Chains A and B, each alone.
Chain A
Amino acid sequence: MRTTRQPGVSEGRAQVPGISHPDGEAPSGESADGGLRQELLTLNFGPHHPATHGVLRLLVTLEAEIVRDLKPVIGYVHTGIEKTAEDKSYWKVIPVVERMDYLSYYFNAMAFCSAVEALAEVEVPSRAQYLRVIHLELNRIASHLIWLGTGALDLGAVSIFLYCLRERELILDLFEMSSGQRMHTRYFQVGGVIEDIPSGFERKLREFIAVMPKRADEYAAILRSNEIVLERLRGTGPLDAETLLGLGVTGPLLRAAGNPWDLRKAAPYSSYGDFDFKIPIGTVGDNYDRFAVRHAEIYESVRILEQAIDGLPEGPFITTDRKVALPPRHELATSMEALIHHFKLVTEGFRVPPGEVYEPIESPRGELGCYVRSDGSSKPARVHMRDPSFVNLQALAHMVKGGYIADLIAAVAMLDPILGGIDR
């Protein structure tokens, strides 16, 4: 039984024990003469499966334990978000669109708000930009923590799951402090953020900044030298950067293959240019590199957080353009214009001049783009989120062809798909 592995991986890694014919000669792969006839088995990794991250269905064609072909079937959590968004005013689209990629909710809101700000030509004040960066990076860390927890859970390391959830609770406490909600906070608004951070947020954030690198060191200490983790991740599911670029893959998957493409550095938005941080990249592009890149990104995000909270400028937290942002409540008692603006914004919403815009940002999974087409009314004519997981999923088949089922599980874990984003 021949063992087919990707080139560049050591041959001694695993030999599938031959299924020997009673006469003693080992049969060839698919031929029917002489030896045991082997069939390809199509196995259904159904939408309900403990190891698919969400309701992902994989039709896997197997030859013994080796994956020959893979077909993902998606749509099991299709929510019609884009259709619902056409029905609501721009302000109300923000909570709808947040629930798309449900682990990186701030990023969804950021992409949409940036697109509408570009369309309506709204300036975001720098304090709002820094606050946005703080929340975005906190969300990035939270997303990577769930990825690490569930990924390690798939590999069998159950305790990491609980440690990551413990850290995530700290982040969700911070979110609750700034906006009142743990998830889907509706904190980002067109023009800035909905509210300034309360007193005590900075202190708690600094405590988190002090603690998080140590905890990340703990995860590394547990996982990096663990033989099982190394055995399962090293050399499995490799894919080179050229194929990935052809497949449209961005984010940590591309960076693990060696291409340092990161929109925060390449096309800085929302004051990312003010911060000094590194982009971790990998060399081989196998599952271990993907794990290492995401793990290193946690440290870089903490660095950004520290610089952001240190340099948080004073100023308004949302644009002063009353046609787009609500006036502060104390003004409603004294100013007639403020009352009228408030009324118009809450009932009808603001109107956006007609046009189309595509605004990409860097989410924890890759390039998250938001395409908004407006026809001049107060409701968008088309909202499309270019979700990174939707595009990255196409790389899964290429990653696991020729590998084992166990490598498939590791590849799905390291791919970090979020089905809410894939299905929208």
Chain B
Amino acid sequence: MRRELLGAAARDTSATEAEARAEQGALRVRELTASQLLRVSDLEGANPPAALEGSDLERNVRDRVLTTTLDKAVAWARSNSFFPLSFGLACCAMEQFQTAGPRMDIARFGYEAFRASPRQADLIILAGRVSIKMAPIIRRLYDQMLEPKWAISMGACCSSMGVFNNYALVPADKFMPIDVHVPGCPPRPEALMHGVLKLRKLVQADPDLGWRERYGALGTEEKPLDA
């Protein structure tokens, strides 16, 4: 199907489009461009539309395709085997247990290896409310984790302030970068699973942008104001 899309007739328009989007650095687009270039460079006598010439082009193409395929493979492997840090703070930890329990089995997806040491974990699920006494400790744990690492903020208390908007709590965004926020108080195991699977798609560089993608509303996200 891609061959038709990149057929000689459509090549020009799709190429400019692809270039435009390639500037945004989308992985899939780079991959598309690279494979298009590869296919085109295979054809004898064809004029490659890319900006690179000759040996540069060949090297670029070889690197691009290799890296992107390797990247993709690595991302697939990483996303299917998160090692969550066994880290529960409060009530959400109880629902985190249930997610690891027999009904909503997190092991189905490969994430049952909860590691106690942050050095061995790559996913920290902040399950529960973060108090001001605990925040520096969580930051330290997060710093001790090795790259690549992701963070899920589970529940309303750490994502926003939750039920308790008072002196004792800190929203997790204030001291560490969070990849996925899971709403709920506490979120059902299904909701946590949904959040983890969203992270999985994010890691596979195929972020699920949800309804914004379907309705063409990209760019309408509310940006956090600098406090």
Known: A76-B131, A79-B131. A420 touches B91 (CB 8 A): yes
Distance between Cα atoms of A49 and B163 in the complex (Å): 26
> Could you say which residues of chain B place their CB within 8 Å of the CB of A54?
88-90, 93
Q: Does A96 contact B (CB under 8 A)?
A: yes
Specify which chain B residues have a CB less than 8 angstroms from the CB of A76 in the assembled complex: 131, 133-134, 137
* Contact yes or no, B164 A79, CB < 8 A: yes
Do B101 and A169 touch (CB < 8 A)?
A: yes
For window 58-102 of B, CB contacts with A under 8 Å fall at 86-91, 93-95, 97-98, 100-102
Scan residues 127-168 of chain B and give those whose CB is less than 8 A from a CB of chain A.
128-129, 131, 133-134, 137, 141, 157, 163-168
Query: In the assembled complex, which residues on chain A have CB atoms less than 8 Å from the CB atom of B87?
Result: 48
Partner of A50 from the list B116, B128, B137 (CB cut-off 8 Å) is B116
Question: Is residue A182 within 8 Å, beta carbon to beta carbon, of the partner chain?
Answer: yes
- Check B91 against A99 for contact (C-beta < 8 Å): yes
Closest to A80 in B: B168
> Which of A160-168, A203-211, A221-229, A265-273 lies at the interface with chain B?
A160-168
- In chain A, what residue has the closest Cβ to B114? A50
Within 8 A of A (CB), among B153-208: 157, 163-169, 185-186, 188
A45 at the interface (CB under 8 A from B): no
Chain B residues within an 8 Å CB radius of A146:
94, 97
Is B103's beta carbon under 8 Å from chain A? Answer: yes
The answer to whether A184 touches B186, judged by C-beta atoms less than 8 angstroms apart, is: yes
Shortest B41–chain A CB gap in Å is: 53
- Cα(A105)–Cα(B163), bound, Å: 15
Which residues of chain A are near B103, meaning CB under 8 Å? 165-166, 169
Residue of A nearest to B115 (CB): A50
0/1 interface trace, chain A 83-104, chain B, CB 8 Å (1 if under): 1100100000001100100110
Task: Verify A183–B186 contact, CB threshold 8 A.
Answer: yes
Query: How far does the Cβ of A106 sit from chain B's closest Cβ, in whole Å?
Result: 13
Whether the Cβ atoms of B89 and A83 lie closer than 8 Å is no
**Contact between B164 and A96, CB atoms less than 8 A apart:** yes
Majority SS at the chain B contact face: loop
Q: Which residues of B contact A75 (CB under 8 A)?
A: 131, 133
CA distance A168 to B94 in the complex (A): 11
A186 to B168, CA, bound (A): 23
Q: Which of A47, A80, A161 meets B164, CB within 8 Å?
A: A80
Per the bound structure, the CA–CA distance linking A168 and B167 in Å amounts to 34
**Is A296 an interface residue, CB under 8 A from the partner?**
no
User: Are B163 and A96 touching (Cβ within 8 A)?
Assistant: yes
By beta carbon, the residue of chain B nearest A76 is B134
Is B90's CB under 8 angstroms from A77's CB? yes
Nearest Cβ on chain B to A52's Cβ, whole angstroms: 11
Which residues of chain B are within 8 angstroms of A102 by Cβ–Cβ distance?
A: 90-91, 94
Q: Does A324 contact B (CB under 8 A)?
A: no
Complex Cα distance, B128 from A73, in Å, reads 19
Set of chain B residues within 8 Å of A46, measured between Cβ atoms: 137
Cβ-defined contact, A77 with B94, below 8 A: no
Task: Chain B residues near A420: list those with CB within 8 A.
Answer: 90-91
Complex formed: what's the CA distance from A182 to B118 in Å? 30
Q: A83 to nearest B CB, angstroms? A: 6
CB distance from B159 to the nearest CB of A (A): 15
Contact yes or no, A79 B129, CB < 8 A = yes
Looking at B101, B102, B165, the one whose CB has the most chain A CB atoms below 10 A away is B101
A95:B134 contact, CB within 8 angstroms: no
**Pairwise interchain contact A78-B133, C-beta atoms closer than 8 A:** yes
- Complex Cα spacing A81 to B93, Å: 18
- Interface residue A298 (Cβ < 8 Å from any Cβ of B): no
Q: Say whether A419 contacts B137, CB under 8 Å.
A: no
Which partner residue on chain B sits nearest A170 by CB separation? Answer: B103
The answer on a CB contact under 8 Å between A83 and B167 is yes
What is the CA–CA distance of A95 and B89 in the complex, to the nearest angstrom? 18
Residues from chain A with a CB closer than 8 A to the CB of B133 are 75-76, 78
Complex Cα gap A87–B166 (Å): 10
Residue of A nearest to B99 (CB): A165
Chain B residue numbers with a CB within 8 Å of A362 are none
Identify 30 residue pairs between A and B in the complex whose beta-carbon atoms are under 8 Å apart, listed by A's number.
A47-B134, A48-B118, A54-B90, A75-B131, A75-B133, A76-B137, A77-B90, A77-B128, A77-B129, A78-B131, A78-B133, A79-B157, A79-B164, A80-B164, A83-B166, A96-B163, A146-B97, A149-B97, A161-B97, A162-B101, A162-B102, A166-B101, A166-B103, A168-B98, A182-B95, A183-B94, A183-B186, A184-B185, A420-B90, A420-B91
- Give 12 new A-B contacts, CB below 8 A, not counting A79-B166, A165-B103: A47-B137, A48-B87, A54-B90, A76-B131, A78-B168, A79-B129, A79-B131, A84-B166, A87-B166, A146-B94, A165-B101, A182-B95
4 residue pairs, one from A and one from B, having the closest CB atoms = A165-B101, A80-B168, A102-B91, A50-B116
